[in-house]
Copies of this chain bind each other. A is one copy, B any other.
């Protein structure tokens, strides 16, 4: 782990186009050109770079309001309003739906690493906890936060669709940590929950389970939607799909409600013998439910966790789950955020992490299976 503020100069890692943009910006500020900037091909000559590089630089400048780009015309330099528009601070906002202290360990670790890296590059971080109250209240809080801190950009952690949309519509640079809603186009970085769940249900069915359930908190989070999709895909793809009972057990996140929902299914004619559980803490809720009901794991019920937790691999029986490397995740995240703030934006595409599969002892063939 490195220090909070590094005594070293870090390599700045600016892309060539970002460097070019800076050079062009400076030339404009100094008034080296009148009215228009030179043509793309000319700029290539001047700055000794290739055309795609010049083009990305120009478009970055256009997004910053320095230029107007129109096909066929020369790129017009916009009259500069006296700097009033962008005296942004070197601050990154981190917006989370949950208080940091309640985050899963891996996420907390990631946020910490991110803050450290950003600090090394001279960026402060500001947290906003934005729990799901009224959408309008939420919007007001976010607007106030962004305005007040004059953030360069924001990291959005498991926030609602509305919040994601707000950032998309207002053009504030943002990176979604977690998945984007299908309707939102923002850059994001997340575990590929869909593949994970597809794989996990394949494991259960492959072991011979014929009644499986996905235990899922009923938030409208994008990652959870993806999990459900993956789960159903996995069931669909199984060769003997006609004999399979597959249910999605939604709960509101409290142990009480979860346990009453589990009751419904475990008292039914075809109680699940294979569970796929979303979120580490709900894994423990489920285990305690089984303990209370006198069900055993893995003999009566097999269990796979969608996420990771330090405990899963150290307890006995160990719990099948999908770990990924904290450190790699943190590095990718930090690099993306730096790019986001250095270049004022990122392509709106998902960056997926593929966790490993940890088989664990919590999965066995169901009773009476050959």
Contact = CB atoms under 8 A, between A and B. Distances in A.
Interface of A: 1-13, 16, 19-20, 22-23, 26-27, 32, 45-49, 89, 91, 100-102, 105, 108-109, 112, 115-120, 124-127, 254-256, 258-259, 281, 284-285, 287-292, 294, 296-297, 310-311, 314-318, 326, 331, 334
B285 A10 contact: no
15 contacts: A1-B126, A3-B125, A4-B115, A4-B118, A8-B32, A9-B22, A11-B23, A101-B109, A108-B109, A115-B116, A255-B314, A259-B316, A284-B311, A291-B297, A292-B296
Judged by DSSP, the binding face of A is helix
Contact of A317 (B49, B109, B288): B288
A124 B4 CA distance: 6
Contacts of A291: 287, 290-291, 296-297
A316 B287 contact: no
Copies in the complex: 2
A331 B118 contact: no
A267 to B, nearest CB: 17
B3 A124 contact: yes
Contacts of A102: 310
Nearest to A128: B1
A45 to B, nearest CB: 6
A314 B255 CA distance: 6
